[in-house]
Amino acid sequence: MMKKEWGWMSTFKRQKEEHCHYSGLPSPMAYENKTNKKMKIKNQIFKWYPVGIAFAYMLYSIGLGLVGMTEEAQYSAHWPGTILLFTIAINQIKKQ
């Protein structure tokens, strides 16, 4: 019988194994790790894409200001803040 305190080692060892020792075929753990990585990346993209869009619009506004179109730069300078505020509001509504 295995002690409780060493139980984590058996699961840790199994997570590293990519092939079954008996048949040589890929183990189910190998497939689970790949899908988990994909889901983590997907979740990170969905979490941070509004920040990326807001940053792009901020660079657009700065570029307009550097070119000399100050009125257009002032108009578009409000877009990043608005995008982030709407994102916060949408996330708050989803939590309720």
Please say whether the beta carbons of 75 and 82 come within 8 A.
no
Residue 1 amino acid letter: M
Q: Which pLDDT belongs to residue 37?
A: 80
Maximal C-alpha separation, the chain: 76
Taking the chain (96 residues) in runs of 10, the rounded mean pLDDT of each run is 52 56 66 72 87 94 95 94 94 88
